[in-house]
Amino acid sequence: MRIIVSHDIDHLFWHDHLFDTWWPGLYLRTIRQIVRGDIKYTVALRRLVTGKTLHNIPALCDYLVENEIKSTFFIGTGKGLNLSYSYKKAGPILDLIIKSGFEVGLHAIAYNDINRLTEEVKRFVEIAGFEPEGVRTHYLRFDQSTHEVMSQSGFKFDSSEYKVDHPQLRHNLWSVPISMMDVRVVQVNDEKNLQAAKKRTFEILKSAHEAEIPFLVINFHDYFFSSAYPWHMAWFKWLISELKTEKYEFISFKDAVAILNAEMHMEKIDEMSPVYKDSIQ
């Protein structure tokens, strides 16, 4: 089993959220966590009194480069569900990610509307200069038509289905499920629960091995790569070091798609008659 690390970019700057519900939600959650004693005041202050930048992409890129981890970032060009940054402002950040050697895909808002998804792709091309091959929807939104719509929009792979399962070819697009995500594994931000997060992580790894899936997809939001979210960051660093110690190979989605296509090609050859097989080998 190989590891695919990915990052959904949900936030860029604090002023992007002046007209949505993100700040009130953050304040409510943080106050509740202080009252329950889940987080310290210093951590709460770091969350609530922030500089203008909410993303932690340069620091995360440095960390990934240092640890030689291949990674794919999904960046949004549409707006919705508190993903509120301007795609034009995402341009320089996308350049930094690409220059650091990482791959980029679309963090899509549209999931069943071909016109809206095509518009998001067009904006991605405007800032990146190339078409995105991969997509993951914001909040993993998904319905019966999602893969068909994605395929029609030119995508080669999607990673929006949350489960431990094998990749599947649907409408000529590889669905590579995501099996491990920070917000589902690190549920409460206290030291005691980092142990619980590690336990959940080992359970997912175990079921991934039992299901014999070829790739384990992990998602870690760059937003959490900060001292304002010490346990999320600690979990991610622990996970990377654990996987490196166990000698797992880290690959990108593009590598995975190339492997899947090569395997499918070999299977097709195997199904052919021996005479024709000889002629093309």
Under the binding rule (CB under 5 A), the answer on residue 182 touching Zn ion is no
Q: How far is the CB of 11 from Zn ion (least distance, A)?
A: 9
Considering only 5-13, 41-49, 184-192, 271-279, which stretch makes contact with Zn ion by CB under 5 A? 5-13
Pairing state between β 103-108 and 180-181: unpaired
Helix (H) or strand (E) holding 120, with range, is helix 114-128
Beta bridge pairs of residue 75: 9, 106
Tokens of 109: 């808002």
CB of 138 to Zn ion, least distance (A): 4
The strand ranges marked E within the chain are 2-9, 71-75, 103-108, 134-137, 157-158, 168-170, 173-175, 180-181, 215-219
Binding mask 183-222 for Zn ion (x = CB under 5 A): ----------------------------------------
Dist. CA 233–CA 218, nearest whole Å: 14
The least distance separating Zn ion from the CB of residue 247, rounded to whole angstroms, comes to 31
SS3 58: helix
Give whichever of 107 and 194 is closer to Zn ion, judged by the CB atom: 107
Strand partners, 250: 3
Smallest separation (angstroms) from Zn ion to the CB of 10: 4
Nearest-5° Cα angle at 84, 79 to 87 = 70
Q: Which tokens belong to 255?
A: 């590598």
Q: Does 138 bind Zn ion (CB under 5 A)?
A: yes
Give, as ranges, the residues between 68 and 87 that touch Zn ion (CB under 5 A): none
Tokens 């619980």 — which residue?
Answer: 196
Q: Nearest to Zn ion by Cβ — which residue?
A: 138
Distance, C-alpha 189 to centroid of its chain: 21
H/E stretch holding 16: none
Q: C-beta of 142: minimal distance to Zn ion in Å?
A: 13
Query: Which region among 50-58, 136-144, 159-167, 168-176 touches Zn ion (by CB under 5 A)?
Result: 136-144
Smallest gap, in angstroms, from Cβ of residue 267 to Zn ion? Answer: 34
Nearer to Zn ion, 8 or 103 (CB): 8
Compare residues 87 and 248 and give the one whose CB is closer to Zn ion. Answer: 87
- According to the binding rule CB under 5 A, does residue 8 interact with Zn ion? yes
Q: Which residue lies nearer to Zn ion by CB, 8 or 120?
A: 8
DSSP state letter for 228: T
Q: What is the largest CA-CA distance in the chain?
A: 74
Interacting residues toward Zn ion by CB under 5 A: 8, 10, 138
